[in-house]
Amino acid sequence: MKISLVIAALFAAAAHGDRRVLVADFSGAVDVGSGDYLVSAIRRAQAEDAELLIIKMDTPGGQLDVTREVVEAELSARVPVAVFVTPSGARAGSAGAFITLAAHVAAMAPASNIGAAHPVGVGDAKHGEEKETGGAKDDATVMFHKVENDTVAMMEGIAEKRGRNRDWAVSAVKESASVTAEKALALKVIDLLADDLPDLLRKLDGREVRLAPGETRKLHTATATIAPIGWTPKQNTLHWFANPELAGLLLTLGMIGLLAEFYHPGAIFPGVIGGVCLLFAAVGLHMLPVNLGGVLFLVAAVGFFVSELYVTGHGILAVAGAVCLVLGSVLLIDNVGTNFYADRDFGIPLRFILPIAISIALGAIALASRMVAVWRKKAITGAAGLVGEFGETREPIAPGAVGHVFVHGETWEAGSDVELQRGVRVVVTGVDGLRLQVSPRELHHGSTETRK
């Protein structure tokens, strides 16, 4: 009897030892790249009949259409899916709240938070208030209510499907409700708290998960093999470009390249690098909610910086350009819109913007100062460089007549307004083609003596 029990235990351990828990590690915005990563992770877990798929998540939110695709994949998954908002301090903000609530198991690390899924970017100025125009609602208000109602319905469906707190789910959309992990557990928004991945696996072991009506699965995660899911190059690239800080950096580098090309026309390299950076920035901004006002401020910034190089603005134009660059960068990424729900701090932070803006402004002032100094410097080459040079007459020169003078190691034809004798020291006062205009040196006693 004892032998049979031992054999059964060994078979059970062997069976459990073959179980695999796949882990998808995701942080950043919900975008085309990260959405494809999450959906493909769910499909891979189904193909391998994994014991469990865990999505480790820290997101401020992102694109709603991509979120819908991920939520649909979660709700129809044939294997258990757990979303774990981790580490402490992480968040499932805005669109991330939909993904968390749609999982079979929703877990959070202590001191993390979830919520704030209100589409405030649509009709934000009205905050949902109806504005009557000739007895009809304002178009923006109508659009606001359509988007809000659609989002509420989506969240309600998720909450009902997973048996979570429906009232809180609705308030997360309508009232931007956001709660800590501890409060979310008390409100039955999530299922459990876990300090880290091993702690989560211990707490999930033996838990029953309902996959479909009448179908449940008991999880065996304590001794399961952990297998991380990597990102494909395509997913990584798309997710990388959708980073607002990277998009802002590429945009700024593109501007610097164009400024350098303006300063050194024909240098080619700065212009090419600037153009490539602007192209990459356009790819990233295409996946982000861009504010037209921010774009206009950035265009104005470029105009001010270029003007500083060609107009003596004494740094005022460069400072104006820096101010426009800061304002444009802050406003460039609109954290919410008709199809993009993210926390309010989503965008390009000031700690990233200010050093770049100040550096560009100082660089523009330095370049402008150098250009002004070059423009003011007396020419020392060519015909114009002869003006101010000293020489000596080789023959008498009558007023209005033409004679010869020796200047700068060469003999030149020259004319004078006064009579000059042979061997008189003269100074060049003008150049007309290949003929110099000279006058006696004593009439220019204050001239620079170094140009003998």
Structural domain spans, the chain: 15-232, 243-376, 383-451
Please determine whether the domains at 15-232 and 383-451 fall in the same fold group of CATH.
Answer: no
Q: What are the C-alpha distances in Å from 152 to residues 157, 176, 179, 278?
A: 9, 12, 18, 38
Q: Whose CA is closest to 367, among 260, 280, 250?
A: 260
Q: What is the pLDDT of residue 372?
A: 62
Query: Does the pLDDT value for residue 141 go beyond 90?
Result: no
Residue 12 pLDDT > 70, yes or no?
A: no
For the chain, the average pLDDT equals 81
Q: What is the pLDDT of residues 89-138, one digit of tens each?
A: 999 998 899 999 999 999 999 999 998 765 544 444 444 444 444 444 55
Residues 392-434: tens digit of each pLDDT: 999 998 888 899 999 877 888 999 888 888 889 999 888 887 8
**pLDDT per position as a tens digit, 179-215:** 999 999 999 999 999 999 999 999 999 999 998 777 8
Q: What is the pLDDT of residues 50-80, one digit of tens each?
A: 999 999 999 998 888 899 999 999 999 999 9
Residue 91 CB burial class (10 angstroms; 0-12, 13-18, ≥19):
buried
- Model confidence at 336: pLDDT above 80: no
Give the mean pLDDT of 303-332.
80
Tell which wins on pLDDT, 22 or 273.
22
Contact partners, residue 54, CB within 8 Å, separation at least 6: 21, 22, 23, 24, 82, 83, 84, 197, 200
383-451 in CATH: which number?
Answer: 2.40.50.140
- Which string of b and e fits 392-413 if b means at least 16 CB within 10 Å? ebeeebeeeeebebebeeeebe
Whole-angstrom distance, CA of residue 168 vs CA of residue 187: 8
Q: In whole angstroms, how large is the CA radius of gyration of the chain?
A: 37
Candidates 3.50.50.60, 3.90.226.10, 3.90.1150.10, 3.40.30.10; correct CATH number of 15-232? 3.90.226.10
